[in-house]
Amino acid sequence: MGISSAGLGSGLDVNGIVTSLMGIEQKPLTAVTKQKTSYQSQISAYGTLKSGLSTFQTAVSALSSASKFNAQNVTSGNASVFTATSNGSATLGDYAVTVSQLAKSQKLSFAGTANIADTVGTGTLTISFGTYNPLTATAPITPNSFTPNAAKTDISITIDSTNNTLAGVRDAINAANSSVSATIVNDGTANYLVITSKDTGEVNSLKISVADTDGDDTNAAGLSQLAYDPTASAGGGKNMTQMQAAKNAILDIDGIAVVKASNTITDAISGVTLNLLATSAGVSTNLGVASNKDKVKESVTAFIDAYNKLDTSLRSLTKYDESGKNSGVLLGDATTRSVISQLKAVMTKTVNSGGALTSLSQIGVSFQRDGKLALDATKLDAAVATNFGDIASLFATTAKVSDPQVSFVSSTKKTQSGIYAINVTGLAPTAGTINGVAANGTGSNLLGAAGDASEGLNLKVTTGALGARGTVNFSIGYAAQLDSVITNLLGETGILASRTDGINTSIKRLDKQAESITARLTSIEARYRAQFTRLDTLMSSMSTTSSFLTQQIASINANSK
């Protein structure tokens, strides 16, 4: 009977022999595994690269706004009278501000009912907004009038059997979610319905008309109790009581009288928002606007720090080590070189914004021998002192228009840097050309035509003559350009996505190849074991035969003596 246990017959080390042979056979699988490990390391490295780019993009995106560099400090001489902020474009200097009156919203009240569930009446309330002009008794004599506010539409509220109580009327007004609110105040004996205009200013005075189901829209009965026509007489359509009149904010800025409907004033001093809090009792309060140079330095430093962090990550991924043990995973990688090249191409070019500054080196930002950025504080200080307004143009998307009656509104990703001629052929609505190409006119705006370099450039034309209206110098600063470049690099169709997709495809191919090799190795090992087991059996059989023959020969020799 043959011996099937490997190595138990003749003493042949079948396991050792098969293991040695399989070590040779497995070399292709080892090579595939090694290649797959290399690819996986690259995928991980690309993940680190993408993370670094994303972090850098977050930093430069924040710096692509001009407000980060046109930083200004606005101070109020008396913060209890007013506070103020700036968008960075205000003219530097001091202003004397005197607040004579705060803007207020109108409040009307209805004497009310004993219980909030008492019935008021039914019909329709129509609430209008506008300006009340009282009777002028001196020549020229003019009657009192109510001029509607064209910016607001009337509010129509239906009062029926489901909401005809005092509480129901209140809730119906509030449910309209409009420019008025209603509340009920109890003075201990009666409930008063108070209707308030949500917006301040004389232009937001109230007029309440009633279509009363009792047939009389102006008397002091039924729903007409809520009528309030400021031009009518008490009890004849002016039935509610005015608790507070609508008032405008009245102030004086450097001797110029200013009247506004709101206590938040954005258009009195260009670039400055005033928040009025109290009157100043005839005493002027100083408003100071100064450059916030520290904020600009902080923004420039943030840009440098963000780039240097990315540079450190890139160098770690692409470093060369003579021993080869610590070289970067992406050493010599063409895609990574392209990323580095695209970033540096942006930072070493010039920006033509129409200002005195055109390069980073002019504000003290330059590359060092080790590839990192460094700041020359002396140069930055000089640039802040002499060209403060131009620093923003180096980093952000900006536009300088030569015609003061034309202003830059916005742009899109498709708008290219350049100097574009503006020609206005019509006003209200505005029509004309930008860069010699017919622009899209919407209201008072001109929008750069699709397909042109000016596409997406949005300009507002306030007034002025028809014809040539100067130029607009549109520029995209370093931070804005880098933001765009990184967006493309990290996009679904960008080079990083293409490269990682290619590597993942290769990994899948190697997985299939490994599966095929593994299956073949299993078959080879089984064949080797079968062959050497048979050899072991054969050798054992031959050994047995040899022993038998030896015994027979020895016996024959012994008998022949």
- Buried/exposed code over 39-50 (b: 16+ C-beta within 10 A; e: otherwise): beebeebbeebb
DSSP state of 490: H
pLDDT-flagged residues of the chain (< 70) = 1-11, 561
CB distance 232 to 242 below 8 Å: no
C-alpha span between 71 and 468 (Å, rounded): 33
The DSSP H or E segment spanning 440 is strand 440-442
Query: How high is the pLDDT of residue 66?
Result: 79
The one-letter amino acid at 154: D
Report the C-alpha gap between 524 and 518 in whole angstroms: 10
For residues 332 and 317, the answer to whether their CB atoms sit within 8 Å is no
pLDDT at residue 325, as a whole number: 78
CB-CB contact of 159 with 123 (8 Å): yes
Tokens 């002396």 correspond to 378
**pLDDT the model gives residue 3:** 38
pLDDT at 525: 82
**Which pLDDT score, from 0 to 100, does residue 162 have?**
96
- Number of neighbouring beta carbons within 10 Å of residue 284: 19
- The pLDDT value given to residue 10: 59
pLDDT of residue 11: 67
549 Cβ contact partners less than 8 Å away, ≥ 6 residues apart: none
Instruction: Say what the pLDDT of residue 5 is.
Output: 47
Residue where the block lists tokens 């090579």: 31
Q: Judge contact between 286 and 94, C-beta under 8 A.
A: yes
Q: What order of strands is seen across the sheet that includes strand 180-186?
A: 180-186, 191-197, 107-113, 241-244
Cis peptide before 148 (omega within 30 of 0): no
CA-nearest of 37, 56, 55 to 45 is 37
Beta-bridge partner residues of 192 = 185
Ordered alpha helix ranges (H), 6-69: 14-25, 27-62
For residues 100 and 259, give the distance between their C-alpha atoms in angstroms, rounded to a whole number: 10
Residue type at 256 in one-letter notation: I
pTM comes to 0.64
Q: If you count them, how many residues does the chain have?
A: 561
Query: What whole-number percentage of the chain has pLDDT above 70?
Result: 98
- Residue 9: its pLDDT value, please? 55
The reported pLDDT for the residue numbered 121 is: 95
pLDDT for residue 111 = 83
Residue with tokens 């004033």: 265
Cβ contacts of residue 81 below 8 Å, gap of 6+? 97, 99, 276, 277, 278, 279, 280, 285
Separation CA 199–CA 127 (nearest Å):
14
Helix residue spans in 176-292 (DSSP H)? none
- What span, in angstroms and rounded, lies between the C-alpha atoms of 432 and 18? 87
**What is the reported pLDDT for 139?**
77
Contact predicate 500/46, CB 8 Å:
yes
pLDDT score at 202: 97
pLDDT of residue 140: 81
- Taking the domains of the chain in order of start, what are their residue ranges? 72-102+249-291, 107-244, 399-476
Cβ contacts of 14 within 8 Å, gap of 6 or more? 6, 7, 529, 532, 533, 536
Helix (H) or strand (E) holding 100: strand 93-101
Nearest to 497 by CA among 40, 37, 47: 47
